Each structure stands twice: as C-alpha cells, then as structure tokens.
Amino acid sequence: MTTDSDLIRRSSKDPQAFAALYDKYSRAVYRYAATRAGDSVAEDVMSQTFLVAYESREAFDDEWDDARPWLFGIATNLLRRHHRTEARRLRAFAKAAGRDSYEDGADRVAERLDAAVKSSNLAAAIRTLSTADRECLLLYAWADLTYEGMALATGVPVGTVRSRLNRARRIIRGAAGLLNMDEEEIEHGRAITPARNA
C-alpha cells in the first residue's frame, strides 16, 4: 500500500507523484478553507497550500504516513495570514472612510466566522474562544484530524491539544445546553489517539 509519505518521497524524483496527494486531499483542504473564510478565499488557500507543500516537501517527516495534519497545518497558517491581511484592510477602509466602527478588524473576521457556523448561540460561544482554542476546535470539527494530527498541524504537544479542545468543548457545550452529553457521543465514534510518548 502506498502511503502519503511514499508519495512525497517519490515526488523528489517524479513530480507527478505529488499529483496523487493533491487528488487525495485537495477537496478536504478546500472545504476546510471555505468553511473558515468563504468560497472566494478557499480556492487560493487550497492552491497555495499545495504549492507550499510541494516546495517544502523535503521538510515532511517521513515517520508520518498521513499527510493531512501537515497539509492542514499549512492551510491554517495561510488562513491566519489571510485574516490578518483582511483585518488590516478593514482598518484601512474604516480609517479612510472616517468611521470608527471597524477600529478592530478582528471583529469583522469574527462576524464572518459566525455566519459560517450559522448558529448564533454557538457562534457567540466560538467567538469567545482564544484563537488557539478556536483553531483546535475547527481542525477537529472541519478537518476531521485526530489529536496527534492537530498537534502536528498546530506545532504543539498532544497534551496541549487535549487541553485546548477540552476547554473549547466545555464552552460550546455550555452554550448549546449539552453539559450532560456523554464522551462517546461527543467523540462521534472517532478514536482518541494517545500521545506517542504516553
């Protein structure tokens, strides 16, 4: 069976091997980017994700058979850059228009995120999360990554991912009135991957 690691390794001598990785994950990366930033941004984020991945494929850790955490980590960094750029642009527009209502462009970004989740109570709860907690929650919910995958994507230990996700879940459950839901239902049947050094 050919793993993602095999494809990336082979692509150094046969660039077409990387196309198989694109075919395998481009839709998932597009959906993740579209959910976080809208369809107008998703195509660019997806294209840039695979361009960055191709150009930095020598840095991929061969111990990982699954390339999804690596790809979603790249996409998450690109989305962060997009949101920062958008916030700066909104501040500039507000300043040019002589209005003070958009002094902080982050509010505008949060409003777009709220619209994407289409639930005012949950959106309000998600907005109260720290950026790190929110990214962890969205990687879990929309990118379907394991704990180890989220750790790889965000560059933090698995224990930190667990803490961030637990904190985010507690807030979201409270907002949704689901404080009595059992853990099996919360995990949606997904295996909780233990830390490598556990």
pLDDT tens digits, 98-156: 554 555 666 666 666 555 544 566 767 787 888 889 888 888 888 888 899 899 888 99
Compute the mean pLDDT over every residue in the chain, rounded to the nearest whole number.
80
Long-range contacts of 96-104 (CB under 8 A, 24+ apart): none
Half-sphere exposure of 96 (CA within 13 A, CB side): 6
Tell me which of 43-47, 177-181, 183-187, 192-196 is least confident.
192-196
Q: Stretch 94-99: mean pLDDT, rounded?
A: 58
Q: Check: CB of residue 153 under 8 Å from CB of residue 70.
A: yes
> Is 133 within 8 Å of 167 (Cβ atoms)?
yes
For tokens 């020598």, the residue is 58
Whole-angstrom Cα distance, residue 81 to residue 11? 28
